């Protein structure tokens, strides 16, 4: 496949259109605090949520779902066994899946479970910097679900995880970092109000799963999920008086975000490993060749 210039805004818009045209069925094994918000976020972006997280059903559903999210926010015993069942089935069936290792590092049960599940080869891993460092064995975790480390501090750990497990790794922060070990993107979009809504990070894992189901390049699909999500956060923050008014506006913004919003707001740099040139040609995902450079699309 010939190389092309990668335009994250254009690529993300194409993937968003695909998702909405053929809504993926996203199985969520997620924490009890965020179930409703996660389901509403998936519906808003154009996907179909399915909270199938009990033993005896989780594996069977993972074989027919379009994608799977495993979030370790409240890993009770049954949910832990359901997660094991689901990821084994997803690997057998080729179902893309996302691991969100919430609050690992300081908490022993979920930390051990995260290290067990990652061996099943997630398509993508999403977490904050402290969670990514802990999963790579290079940190003690953060303060509960809050990161104690910067995104850039986790860049090396993210690359190592990507190379070891063949996954795309997305590190959330003021500037999101996404890498597959060869390609790296940094997204400077978003709004701080997103961090003041319960489920703001967890629901992103579900949206990432939805984009993985709707795309043929996990790296570009993960970039698309993060860009759509953070641009929607910016749109929602305009006119919001605080987190209470932001949350419903965010769901509305996810339903409304489109190619024009992505092109006008995207603040993304992308490069090959060891290449600081944001307009470096990146491997394509079957799209027509692009003539637009990666950085500052539409800005």
Q: 215 near 221, Cβ under 8 Å?
A: yes
Between CA 135 and CA 118 the distance in angstroms is 9
Residue 273, pLDDT score = 65
| Separation of first and last alpha carbons in the chain | 29
Q: Which two tokens stand for residue 36?
A: 């409703």
What's the pLDDT band for 4 if we cut at 50, 70, 90? low
Ramachandran area for residue 144 (φ above 0: left; ψ -120 to 50: alpha; else beta) = left
For 236-269, how does the pLDDT look when each residue is reduced to its tens digit (9 = 90+)? Answer: 999 999 999 999 999 999 999 999 999 999 999 9
For 107-149, how does the pLDDT look when each residue is reduced to its tens digit (9 = 90+)? Answer: 999 999 999 999 999 999 999 999 999 999 975 544 444 455 6
Q: For 83-92, what is the mean pLDDT?
A: 98
Nearest one of 230, 118, 211 to 172, comparing CA atoms: 230
């Amino acid at each position: 496949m010939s190389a092309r210039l990668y335009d994250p805004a254009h690529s993300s818009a194409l993937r968003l259109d695909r998702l909405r045209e053929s809504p993926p069925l996203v199985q969520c094994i997620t924490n009890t605090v965020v179930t409703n918000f996660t389901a509403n976020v998936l519906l808003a972006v154009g996907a179909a949520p399915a909270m199938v997280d009990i033993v005896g059903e989780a594996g069977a559903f993972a074989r027919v779902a379009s994608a799977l999210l495993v979030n370790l926010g409240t890993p009770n015993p049954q949910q832990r066994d359901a997660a094991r069942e689901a990821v084994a089935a997803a690997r057998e069936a080729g179902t893309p899946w996302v691991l969100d290792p919430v609050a690992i590092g300081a908490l022993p049960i979920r930390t051990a479970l995260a290290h067990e599940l990652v061996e099943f080869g997630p398509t993508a891993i999403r977490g904050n910097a402290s969670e990514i460092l802990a999963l790579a064995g290079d940190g003690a975790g953060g303060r509960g679900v809050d990161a104690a480390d910067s995104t850039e501090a986790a860049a090396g750990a993210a690359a190592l995880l990507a190379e070891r497990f063949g996954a795309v790794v997305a590190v959330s922060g003021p500037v999101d970092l996404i890498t597959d070990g060869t390609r790296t993107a940094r997204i400077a979009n978003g709004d701080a109000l997103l961090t003041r809504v319960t489920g703001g990070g967890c629901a992103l894992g579900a949206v990432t799963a939805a984009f993985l189901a709707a795309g043929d390049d996990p790296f570009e699909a993960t970039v698309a999920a993060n860009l759509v999500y953070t641009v929607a956060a910016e749109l929602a923050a305009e006119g919001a008086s605080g987190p209470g008014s932001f949350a419903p506006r965010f769901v509305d913004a996810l339903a409304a975000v489109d190619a024009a919003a992505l092109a006008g707001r995207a603040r993304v740099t992308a490069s090959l490993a060891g290449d600081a040139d944001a307009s470096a040609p990146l491997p394509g995902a079957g799209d027509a060749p692009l003539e637009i450079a990666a950085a500052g699309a539409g800005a």
